[in-house]
Amino acid sequence: MKMIRPATNLRHLLRKQLNNRRPVYLSSHPLTSLLGSRRLFKAVNLDTLTPTMPSSMDPKGIVVFTSVGRSQYGFDIFTVNLNQTPITGSTSEHRLTDGISINYNAQFVNEDQSIVFISERSGCPRIYLTRRGLSKPEQLPSVPDSLFHDRPIIKSHHLYFISAHEQSEKPFQSWSALYSTELHGKRKIIRLSPYGVVDYSPAISKSGTFVAIASYGSRPWEGDFHELKTDIVVFPTSDPNNRLVVCERGGWPTWSGDSTIFFHRQADDGWWSIFRVQFPENPLEFSEFPVLPLRITPPGLHCFTPAAFNDGKRIAVATRRRGKCYRHIEIFDLEREVFHPVTELLNPAFHHYNPFVSSDSESLGYHRFRGKSIEGESRVPHLEPVASPIKDLGMLRINGSFPSFSPDGSLLALNPALDENGGIKVVKSDGSERWTLIKGRVAFCNSWSPTEKYVIYSSLGPIFESTKTTVQIARVTFEPSYLNSDLQEIPCDVKILTREDTGNNAFPSCSPDGKSLVFRSGRSGHKNLYILDAVNGEFNDGIRKLTAGPWIDTMPSWSPNGDLIAFSSNMHNPNNVDAFSIYVIKPDGSDLRRIYAAGPKGSSDVDMERINHVCFSPNGEWLVFAANIGGVTAEPVSFPNQFQPYGDLYVMRLDGSGLRRLTCDGYENGTPTWHFGGELDMRRLCLGNDAGVELTGEFDEPLWITSDFD
């Protein structure tokens, strides 16, 4: 074990915080000085709370988008009895959830195997309770208009949970905060996090007296997500304003008794490890003692998301071992300093996440892909309804990327994957059927011709490569009669519109009259925009440059009335390949202007914008796009791989007003399209096991977790 000595003890740390205007008692809400410290707690009566009434000026229609990897999760919650011995093979798993949607981040309520957990069966993460023998989980009190709930805990007839329903006062700050409610009586929601403070991953001490939290504090988000720069903060459940930082740098706290906290962080040698802090019975007196977090797990393997046993002798952890492909749950004996495998003996080829332990230390739980042979949902729908914060704006998650509707809205083109297994597929807009147009080659970013029902434009070649990599714009044409046949693979004609020696040509968007394409090309050595003849391509001088400069212009979208082209660019900061903002330009190259989303022109906030996948609304008055404005909503290390877990969808008027957040979760959401064609009745979507593709549980662990250390 390695002793990690922080820069100072707690008494000095408290003084340092005060000197740096990072007080232990945090309140940055502007109303505090007017209303007193009680303003830190906001009570909401769940019986009277209703979502905000829609405005007649709100956007309308249906937005279809993707969430990276999420469609294949198929998570259910399982437990094992630790009185049985996994080594002898006599133990077995018990599934506690019902195979509907995805279910995760559970905690035991008592010894009868009751659990409180998160499920997305209602279109967004909400809180449920279930136990063995219960045919249907019970939805617990939560915030009706919240798109995100996480890490629920029941203690002393109170429910504690993370929610992200209250907008932060400034951009680039997460909305995640801790709340509680009584399970009986008035059921008022109490905000326990001070306003302006971001909190994740709560834990309640054994007696229910104290809360530990991974807190980002009131600092603006710095763009971190591999390891969030959170601190371990403790406060009494009876006085949430009395907050104490017990350790800098740490996440996912878990209590053993009332005086020991375990947490994870990435050690200086690169390995994610579990650390421990111990203090007297009252942690708030901890300032009288030095802070000496002790590294508990050794280097040589990654350990995350600890769950402490109340006997003080063991912790359960999720591990990633060198040379192993899967995340597994193991028990670490604190006295002998040895690991005991659990899930690798049961399901060696599945990932297992976020262990939790019963109060009697006899049961261990976790979530994983439910498997192909178990009861429950066994197929991934082509289109899945998602909760929307705007009444007249529907939201559909697609199993694939870069969706594009046919002119009448009856069909949808998509890329099922962004590798050689992808290609182009066409789906009925009710999700009932799907056909293959192109397979065995990489395709991405589709644009259906607004004037030709059976013509789709796409990019053929690897995505996100250099300017010299060969990627070509293709015009894909197919016969409608094949859609009424029994064929699953539809013959099509593929016409290449760009020259092979021009390098990287991608992200086509068709003009409303169907005559031209705008796309991004690296032929000049820089990725700028060009306009191309939609039928003959560039081979008869049918191409002209739209933008030019030593920066990146990409992902263009032609407005429905043809007067503007929106795109993402870092032309305001060409040296920063992450600094993308929204620009619009006329098709003749005039009237280039930037549309500011994170703040007014000249503010420092707009320099942090990372905005992509811009798309117009059907009436041309709104833009939908993916952006980093809301920061990170949950600890990314506790999820499967998300390339950009800060990516959420927003809508905004073309003049930069009316910014609204559409998604709020731990996923990377992107590649949106706005339904242009005829009416799409979301009530008639084909869901369940009668449509879609097989649920295989194929998803990646975070690609930034590596074992390549010397």
Domain boundaries, the chain: 377-693
Query: Rounded to whole angstroms, what are the CA distances from 476 to 312, 333, 448, 494?
Result: 63, 60, 9, 5
Q: How far is it, in rounded angstroms, from Cα 297 to Cα 339?
A: 9
Beta partners for residue 529, in sequence order = 520
Relative to beta strand 393-398, strand 61-67 is parallel
- pLDDT tens for each residue of 458-469: 999 999 899 999
pLDDT at 512 over 90: yes
**CA 315 – CA 332 distance, rounded (Å):** 5
* 188-197 pLDDT, tens digit each: 999 999 999 9
> What is the spatial distance between Cα 321 and Cα 170, in angstroms, rounded to a whole number?
40
Q: CA geometry: angle at 420 spanning 416 and 421, to 5°?
A: 45
Fold of 377-693: Neuraminidase (2.120.10)
- Rounded CA separation 559/697 (Å): 38
Name the CA radius of gyration of the chain, rounded: 26
Indicate if the pLDDT at residue 631 is higher than 90: yes
Taking the C-alpha atoms of residue 418 and residue 401, their distance in angstroms, rounded to an integer, is: 8
Flag the least confident range among 110-119, 665-674, 684-693, 700-709: 684-693
Which helix (H) or strand (E) is 19 found in, with range?
Answer: helix 10-19
| pLDDT for the residue 709 | 65
Query: What is the distance between the alpha carbons of residues 217 and 238, in angstroms, rounded to a whole number?
Result: 20
- Tens digits of per-residue pLDDT, 308-334? 998 899 999 999 999 999 999 999 999
pTM score, two decimals? 0.90
**pLDDT by residue (tens digit) across 518-574?**
999 999 999 999 999 999 999 989 999 999 999 999 999 999 999 999 999 999 999
* Nearest in space to 201 (alpha carbons), one of 44, 356, 46, 25: 356
